Structure 1
Amino acid sequence: MVEIYSYPLDPDTKTNLKIYLFKNVLNVETIRNNIVNGVWNCAAIKPSLVLDPLQIAVAANRAVVAEKAGNLVTRTVYGEILYNLSLSKNISQSLSKFGVEKDNALLMCFLINDKDESDSIIKQIQGELCPISELHNFTNMKEVKSVYKLNSLKSNIDLLDIIVSRMVIKNFVTY
């Protein structure tokens, strides 16, 4: 069994996060359509823009807290995760930047509370499940620095801290 990333989110939401990493995915268009049309309750994220699963955990936590408070900016909690990953306040720009389009590698993100539908969805993905510890092999540092406006940084030290901080304060600051 390949390792997955599982993380408890805000206790008030009684929700856990599960992330699966896939490569060589053949049915990306079907996956995208199932998510966009609400057939599947999950998010497909470009792994090239993710430095660490913590980024997704922070975005997911903000999304479930916003959903519980009735303050979603997007239509779904999964769209909210993609929106929270981005520095942009433009919803469609955030969804297209972090959502999977034609990539053959993807991160599947599930929010688990009462029932867990992830197993049935994962079985329908025609790709190779990878250990989440291999995420760094998919990350494109140049793209990450560009998306988070960190091109002037010479070092990658503390990059995750800076990215998470920028994600969290996006509602207060314009980049």
Structure 2
Amino acid sequence: MSSIMVSEVYTCELDPETRTTLQMYLFKNVRNVEVIRNNIVKGVWNCAIIKPSLILHPLQVSVAANRAAVAQKHNTMVTRTVFAEILYNLSLTKNITQSLSKFGIEKDSNLLVCFLITPDGDDSKEIIQQIEGELCPISNLSQYSNEKDIKAVYKLNNVKGDLDLLDVIVSRMVTKNIVSH
């Protein structure tokens, strides 16, 4: 694989006390989805694989990743791994299995790959090289988003008016432990 262009990677510093950076890569036409899924399920790979069809904007994942990193630091995670915690935080449900199956990898050939980079580790380069697909600029994410599915997952089908969809989604994600939607 050739060197990765900066525009193809989304990078975001998370809460300073976690000393963690989120990196996201968008792939299309992935040919080894089953191998990737097995590596995730068995815990071989330290990353989260997300269905891009349910992601409106990288901010959505940044918020979920930040909450996961903070929960890990404070030993308050609901799931077993920080990467499962990202998927859990993306979802409105408190059901871990539903969260993982809704947002996690299935058989889709388009994938959003998320890494948490810390001073102690960065597995991104090693894992990225094993994904058999086309790396796309993260700016193309909206081409893979399915607004109808996003509205269904976040229970926004009855929302009327000019509300900013991303604002509503992020608000619902961060208040899921307080409010039932």
Instruction: Work out whether 1:92 is the aligned partner of 2:97.
Output: yes
Instruction: Work out whether 1:103 is the aligned partner of 2:116.
Output: no
Instruction: Work out whether 1:131 is the aligned partner of 2:137.
Output: yes
Question: For the aligned residues, what is the CA RMSD?
Answer: 1.0
Cα offset for 1:152?
1.3
Q: Distance in 1 between matches of 2:23 and 2:169?
A: 21
Q: Which moved further from structure 2: 145-154 or 84-93?
A: 145-154
> Which residue of the partner structure matches residue 34 of structure 2?
29
Q: Distance in 2 between matches of 1:167 and 1:127?
A: 30
Instruction: Work out whether 1:5 is the aligned partner of 2:14.
Output: no
Q: Distance in 2 between matches of 1:119 and 1:158?
A: 35
Gaps of 5+ in 2: none
Q: Secondary structure at the match of 1:170?
A: coil
Q: Distance in 1 between matches of 2:170 and 2:162?
A: 14
Cα distance change of structure 1 residues 155 and 135 upon mapping to structure 2, 3 Å threshold: farther
Runs of 4+ in 1 over 6 A off after TM superposition: none
Q: CA offsets per residue over residues 15-72 of structure 1, 9 Å max, x none?
A: 0000000000011111111011111000000000000000000000000000000011
> Which residue of the partner structure matches residue 65 of structure 2?
60
Q: Secondary structure at the match of 1:97?
A: helix
> Which residue of the partner structure matches residue 43 of structure 2?
38
Instruction: Work out whether 1:20 is the aligned partner of 2:15.
Output: no
Q: Distance in 1 between matches of 2:178 and 2:163?
A: 25
Q: Secondary structure at the match of 2:168?
A: helix
User: How many pairs align?
Assistant: 175
Instruction: Work out whether 1:174 is the aligned partner of 2:180.
Output: yes
Q: Secondary structure at the match of 2:8?
A: coil
Q: CA offsets per residue over residues 113-161 of structure 1, 9 Å max, x none?
A: 0221101100000000000000000000000000000001345641000
Gaps of 5+ in 1: none
Instruction: Work out whether 1:151 is the aligned partner of 2:157.
Output: yes
Q: Distance in 2 between matches of 1:121 and 1:69?
A: 27
Cα offset for 1:3?
2.1
Q: Secondary structure at the match of 1:129?
A: strand
- TM-score, length basis structure 2: 0.94
Amino acid at match of 1:149: K
